[in-house]
Amino acid sequence: MRYIPHTEADVQRMLERIGVRSLDELFVGVPKKHRLERALDLPAAESEQLLTAHLQALSEQNASTQTHDWFLGAGTHAHFIPSAIETLVSRSEFTTAYTPYQPEISQGTLQAIFEWQTMICCLTGLEVTNASMYDGASATAEAALMAMRCTRRNRVVLASGVHPHYADVVRTYLSGLSAEIVTTLRAEDGRVSGLADLVDDQTACVILQQPNFWGCIEDLKSAIEVAHAHGALVVVTVAEALSLALLTAPGEIGADIVCGEAQSFGVPMSLGGPHVGFMATRQKLLRQLPGRLVGETTDTEGRRGFVLTLSTREQHIRRERATSNICTNQGLCLLMATIYLCLMGRVGLRKLAELNLAKSEYARSRVRETPGLSLAFEAPSFNEFVVRLDGDAAESLARAREQGIVAGLDLAPYAPDLGNAILVCTTELASRESIDRLVEALAGGAA
């Protein structure tokens, strides 16, 4: 077995040293009646060569950005990933290290997290952030929990534009606590509506998504005023992190917690995970923040170094009184995102966001002028928008697939009231020609 170094001679020598005669005797603590008296019923061991071929074959049964033109986003976004990321992240010193409990020999991981924290603060416009969460959905749920702790209130108002999966995860996370969750209406233009009717003095937080699930850019300022008037916190969740490079930082206009999904920053779509959630807040709420934090300090010789800090908030110290049960963060994915943000930098990230906006505007203009297609919402958008079809959405999507196009998300299960509608995402991967083909393929289904 190539992963296990023991020879039979080694085993004998070790058993002698331990003072037992057989491997079986080592398991004396496991009562005989509990021993499995048969081999596990699993496929036999396979060679690296044949297993590689098997996995290759399985992978080829999945569509990917390599096999199709890709316009499906909805929280997982197809962006170009610079080569340097995989090279750097593949270094064993990063992949095969664990949580930096021993800071003297974990400065690489710790410093990278400190850099991540700095960049997430910059992007969100907030003062403190943690060392990442599992994903955008659980980060949003943790934000709701945090708001309930901070305000000692139990009502959570979800805006209509929060990603349905995020909303589901919020409901699941809060299901064991006596929380009340209400959802707002959606306005004609795709943005939140009727918020003022739902926020009251028992509301812990209002959760808005920016841009929202339908791709629309919310008027955060007005929503924040409504929430704050009742002493509720405002959580802004961001499923497409690249939008932060273009849109006003939510923290700068009053959001109390900004969280979301940073997969767009150089993390492979990878069938939905592992991705990397983020969560930022104000300094005054720091003690209620869940998850790991890295702080700067000095060593005994006065040199700068980094450590995990404020761990008295966490489960391994505080146990049932911890701010969360979260243990791991998304170290390697956080590292991908950090490297990505360094490569793109101050100028590149903004240019890329503007490029996404331009592609989307082009696609929207093509939709507007094409018979059989229309835009469902008039609110401004970033790189995602809802197309309404005169024809059947499922049929149009299937026809596009035959032409090698994954055209978007059929919204029938998410918003049946929209009729035949699909959510379309155009990133820098979409060429003008591919957008033209997309529009033609969808319009081909017009009645």
Site for other proteins in 65-104 (CB under 8 A): 65-68, 70, 72, 74-76, 78, 82, 84, 86-88, 90-104
CA distance 20 to 32: 17
Q: Which stretch binds other proteins (CB under 8 A): 147-155, 199-207, 292-300, 384-392?
A: 292-300
Q: In angstroms, what CA-CA distances link 121 with 125, 278, 349, 418?
A: 6, 10, 15, 37
Per the CB < 8 A criterion, the answer to whether 198 and 185 are in contact is no
CA distance 276 to 403: 33
CA distance 110 to 99: 9
User: Can you tell me whether residue 40 is helix, strand or coil?
Assistant: coil
CA distance 190 to 216: 6
When asked if residue 182 is in the footprint of other proteins (CB under 8 A), the reply is no
| Closest approach of other proteins to the CB of residue 296, in Å | 4
Q: What does the buried/exposed string (b/e) look like for 22-49 if buried means 16 or more CB atoms within 10 Å of the residue's CB?
A: eeeeeeeeeeeeeeeeeeeeeeeeeeee
When asked if residue 166 is in the footprint of other proteins (CB under 8 A), the reply is yes
Binding mask 211-250 for other proteins (x = CB under 8 A): ------x-x-x-----------------------xxxxx-
| Closest approach of other proteins to the CB of residue 174, in Å | 10
| Closest approach of other proteins to the CB of residue 87, in Å | 7
When asked if residue 296 is in the footprint of other proteins (CB under 8 A), the reply is yes
Chain positions 187 to 216 lying near other proteins, rule: CB under 8 A, are none
Could you tell me which of 204, 189, 117 has the C-alpha nearest to residue 152? 204
When asked if residue 297 is in the footprint of other proteins (CB under 8 A), the reply is yes
Chain positions 327 to 386 lying near other proteins, rule: CB under 8 A, are 327-333, 335, 339, 341-352, 354-355, 357-359, 361-362, 380
When asked if residue 10 is in the footprint of other proteins (CB under 8 A), the reply is yes
Could you tell me which of 179, 172, 212 has the C-alpha nearest to residue 75? 212
> Which residue in 8, 152, 298, 447 binds other proteins (CB under 8 A)?
298
When asked if residue 446 is in the footprint of other proteins (CB under 8 A), the reply is no
| Closest approach of other proteins to the CB of residue 305, in Å | 4
When asked if residue 391 is in the footprint of other proteins (CB under 8 A), the reply is no
> Which residue in 21, 23, 180, 284 binds other proteins (CB under 8 A)?
23
Size of the site for other proteins (CB under 8 A): 202
CA distance 40 to 31: 19
> Which residue in 193, 196, 198, 305 binds other proteins (CB under 8 A)?
305
| Closest approach of other proteins to the CB of residue 413, in Å | 8
Per the CB < 8 A criterion, the answer to whether 265 and 236 are in contact is no
Name the DSSP class of 411: -
Cis bond upstream, residue 82 (ω within 30): no
When asked if residue 34 is in the footprint of other proteins (CB under 8 A), the reply is yes
* 131/157 with CB nearer other proteins: 131
Could you tell me which of 148, 163, 165 has the C-alpha nearest to residue 206? 148
Per the CB < 8 A criterion, the answer to whether 256 and 93 are in contact is no
Q: Which stretch binds other proteins (CB under 8 A): 134-142, 181-189, 201-209, 383-391?
A: 134-142
> Which residue in 182, 194, 201, 295 binds other proteins (CB under 8 A)?
295
CA distance 220 to 192: 10
CA distance 169 to 145: 12
When asked if residue 447 is in the footprint of other proteins (CB under 8 A), the reply is no
When asked if residue 438 is in the footprint of other proteins (CB under 8 A), the reply is no
| Closest approach of other proteins to the CB of residue 18, in Å | 5
Which two structure tokens, joined as six digits, stand for 441?
């393929």
